[in-house]
Chain A
Amino acid sequence: MVELGNLSQYAALGFALGAIILLVGGIIRNDFRYIMGGRRALAFTPLFTTMAALSLTYLFATDAFQVEYVMSYSDRALPFFYKLTAFWAGQDGSLLFWVWTLSLFAAVVAFNTRNELEQRPTPYIYLVMAGCMVFFLFLLTRVTNPFELLPFTSRDGRGLNPMLQNPGMIFHPPTLFLGYVGFTVPFAYALGAMMGGNPDESWLKKIRVWSVLSWVFLTIGIILGGQWAYVELGWGGYWAWDPVENASFIPWLVATAFIHTSIIQERRNIMRVWNMVLIVLTFVLCLFGTYLVRSGILQSVHDFGATGLGGYFLVFMAGAALLGFGLIVFSYQRLRSEHSIESYLSRESTFLFNNVILLALAFATLFGTMFPLLSEAVTGNKVTVSQPFFNRVNTPLFLLLLLITGLCPLIGWRKASASNLRKNFLLPAAVTTAGGLGLFIAGIREVYPFLAVSLSIFIASTIFQEFWTGTRARVRLTGEGALIAFPKLVWKMRSRYGGFVAHLGVVLMVIGITGSYAYKQENQATLKQGQTIAVGDYTLRYDRAGTYSDRNREVQAAEFSIFRDGQYLDKMRTERRFYTNAEQPTTEVSLRSTLLEDLYVTMPAVGENQEVTLKVAVNPLVIWVWIGGFVMVFGGIMSIIPRFTRREIIPHV
């Protein structure tokens, strides 16, 4: 299997290199046969990368500890399912997963463009895809090979990091990778369009699904990462503005900006240069994220930094940036739009300002992340830039973004009249004022939480107004009842309403984030059996403790009774686990989650006489962060579901 894996990687590299040679030959000689050959070579690479991926999976499943990578991330006691997911626990497997998905995407692109071979951008698109694949396959075969053998066969492996033995970690890395890899396709199409001399709107239409789907995967990856941090790390939060978290959030922000302005370009043929810049930037930032993670240049809570791959990524990233931005400069005259924004009071201009804020957020996050390096280089002083800094700098920008998100649906395309705006603005403004007053009476008076929730109410009311106006128009046109007209309207105009659903998800997330950060209550105490600890309306009584052994760990467990306002509610149990392969114990979070709040319990220490140190927190509205994330992802997917039927002709009644 090791040989098969190795050979498959080399074969994939050979085919990708072959594709490049044939494509370059085809472009230079203007020979269609070469381009066909290059396309075939590209389409064959997934065959070999799949074989390599299956080989590695088999080696993990069979405890092949003569392979260094398997020995480093698995052991005999590891549950079978985690053995399979240990595939992407380290750098080598992650890169193999990356190249496997990239090759599959390349094959899909080759299939989708089967009837477009005569179009000038097509061979360039293949060329960019093949170029990216060669880079990753080079790393896999020459620098960080997952099939590297040890000089001996180890009796057991080092095992998987206990923190990665969590369901969230099974899906978090692959979804992030799918997001990162997915943006290679829009990047390839953008470069193809410029190199092929045809940078009009056609490339954008073809990559809409790719860009939204990549954004969806990136969103899922980020949310799952937050969820994992919440249930596994035991500090009671889900986002710490850690450099590695930021590394995924920065391209997400730029990709979000791109998805918004690409809609404008599709509808109005404007912002062509802007969109090219955004998609090149998104791809480069995806690479930058990987560089940040793999170079170990910044200290992070993630422990997989400093692997020596940073230099390679830096060179590749610089090459991609030079090529992308160079082509934009070179194609500038052809990229210039024929049309333009007609009025400040138009949806186009709100999209433009939404872009400015998203990019400012990305820049602020990037600058803050890199500032420790800059400070050390300039002053020689080491500083730390963490959560408080990012909250201080980014929160005003987020609030401004919420305001623009709310205003956007109120303003029509091209040029909105002031009277129309007033008419549209009236209801949301009234609802927001009433909501704000309600918040004030309810005691929510701190500036940021008050503004965040009020603006969320504003966005939600503008979205519901949109749904209501559309449904009413359909009822008027078709004579259908509102209950039938509403789902039909949403389904038939899903690309438009999918966006609104995604914005509703943002609203839910903002409410969850505001509640959980601004109104968190916590307490910590060391208890003897029978003693209690109180936090908010809850009281926890420490009932009993015990120890037991599981497959790959020794466990100290403690059980509690929970009371709310004196009434018994439930029992909870929290653990400290001592994994055989880890020096430090891990704390297992005990969670009681409702729609209103989470009761979050961890046990940082157990004393010699069974006294336990408990950290208890009441985190309001956290569940809405996950629900909001799900709604956002659902909205994104909804907006790209293709049309299956012919367009319905609505009869006039």
Chain B
Amino acid sequence: MKIAKILVQGIVQGVGFRPSVYRIVNALGLKGYIRNLGNIVEIILFEDEKQVNDFIAILKEKKPAISKINSITVQWIDESRYFYPKNDTFEIVESSTDFSGASVIPPDLAICDNCLEEINDSKNRRYKYPFTTCIDCGIRFTVIENVPYDRDKTSMDDFPLCQKCEKEYTNPLDRRYHAESTCCETCGPSLKLYNHKENEINTINPLEKAVKLLDEGKILAMKGIGGTHLITKVRDNKPIKKLRKRLNRPNQPFAVMSRNLETAKTFTEVSSKEAKSLLSKERPIVILKKSKNYDFAESLAPELHNIGVMLCYSPLHHIMFDYTDEPAYIMTSANISGEPMMIKNKEILSSLYGIGDYYLLHNRRIINRCDDSVIRYRANELSFIRRSRGYTPEPYDLNDLIKTKKINKDLNILALGPEIDVTFTLQKQGLAYVSQHIGNTNKFKTYEFLQEAIKNMRNITKTENFDAIACDMHPQFFTSHLANEMGEKFNCEVIPIQHHHAHGAVLAMDNSLDELVFIAADGVGYGEDGSTWGGEIMYTNINNYERLASLSPQKMPGGDISTKYPVRMLESILSNSETYQGEELESLLSSNYSHYFQHRETEIKSVLKQINSNLNVGITTSTGRILDSIAVALNICGERTYEGECSMKLESFAYGANGDLKIEPQFKKINGRPILDTTQILVDIMKLISNKENKKEIAAAGQKVVSEGLAILAVDTASKMGINNIGATGGVFYNEAITLATKKYVESEGFNFVQHKNSCAGDGSVSLGQSLIASSKIN
């Protein structure tokens, strides 16, 4: 007789998959066993084909809510060669590590309704217990060290189950059956509160005490799920300014956590899609427009019309809000700018010395650091700004690309991303596992975190070797250096990928397209000609790309300092025009903008000389630099203290304009390449300013001419190539006004406008694009 060996890949561990199967099989009266095998599930059935097929049909229907089946394979094996229980039953047996499949453990999810009920029920033994979780909710990725996903491979292993928990854990009919992170007050993690001198504060309820301190205006560092938050009140400028000073973040907007949707609606405008995202089990931060009733301190998100909001996701947060009447708290990652969030208790106490007033810590180790995810809707379409907690490590399924033979399923690829908003991607068996947010790899600790996170991802995906390592083309990115090191270590090819090509490939994949024309508008991406691109019209079929049009190449006197101080960019751009030459330009700058130059008149002169001598001058077609220049021309923003600051403030400044000013885009050609003349845009803007037009309207017109100019170039390109899909990618497309204007023009010309849906418009998805392209190149 034959027996059926059924292998299930997907999100099948740590989600109550085995008990579900147990229940189905018992109801059908079948015999056999089930076990976790490496990172997949193996079901053995001692039954014939009909019964096996019935079982599979029911399984697909009745699988647990948060599980996901990517594939089910059935092999028929000779009975004599297989172990199975002799007593005519179905059993769940010990896990085995010996198979390497392509499944993955689920991400960390918000508390479920059942658990929420328990922590609110004063008669329940988990009443107000902040680490309550079950098979349907809570921590997963952040606590796992290896697969199979069993408690002994997580940091919950530090907490042996008490009798009551053990009983739940071993009862297949309980919802905590094999809930690997289950615990209770008796056996699980606990909280401790410390003051800034690292002394423990004696209190029976550290959380309640901490909230009281918060409401007195203190800054609290609180260790949570994937990292640590710095928390303070939202309506009081004083603690916020204190926090800004201590973190050296003078302007960067802080995100807030609110108790529930109703409350969030009191200070923001929430669309139905946004509400759905806020309430989703992934609980990302959603960028929302401030409402008319918004009354938080100005210093919270200065000069912006929107604010990042998330709702409570862990029991810890729910209980925190039980102790206060505040509508929301600032919840910002506890890290030195660009460095990883702190996750170790000792580190939190020592490295945040002088930043937090109090520290609320728990004793559960965080294995995989995971920042809050951030999303923004533009034109009612979701894009990730950061895809991390709640989503990582769920892979992208590349089946479409495999079917069309764009990429080869059997390749293992590691792609390391760009530099500042780095994620990495591990591609294996047709699945692309994009890592959690890693950060700015220019910082040493982040660079180390990257390497550690790669190691952990290799563990949980059981990946030993790579066929290729992909990286950015930028010769100085640390990720490029690391790619070379790893290429040597794994004895495989290193494939540098052009930055915007990677952006475009993700966009194509995200929309299941084989090819498209796309606008890549962002801050910086190293181009094949050695200059810095970022306002490009390109074509890609994933495997290859063509650069077909762009913004005018502009000089960046001093390289990156022109990004930090955009007035240098403005000077450089205006110096190209016939209108503003020599002394005229100098006097314009010194009478209106000299305070934006660190060294005033001397610098105005030296920038001009630098432009002429080409000493340390970069060349860029970046859209970000044009938006920065418009912002500084309008006196909106003179220094970039956080990524995207000037263009974000420009968008907010222009928000609500009626749109009655218009700047006509002008085009020319350089070496046969169509160019949107950005010098003319700035000249026109300066004219409107000197004519004393309304500045809000000028800002709106400036954004619009950039969007339409790019859109016109894209439409021209697409019609010449006979392609109907025009995409938009790059960080600039987080800007809603720009996205809407581009979409409007593209659609009015009869083309299909393609946006990111389930990926980042910005650099968070660049590693994914690199991976797709690399695997198509060595296909």
Q: Do A and B bind each other?
A: no
Listed in ascending order, the chain B residues whose CB lies under 8 Å from chain A are none
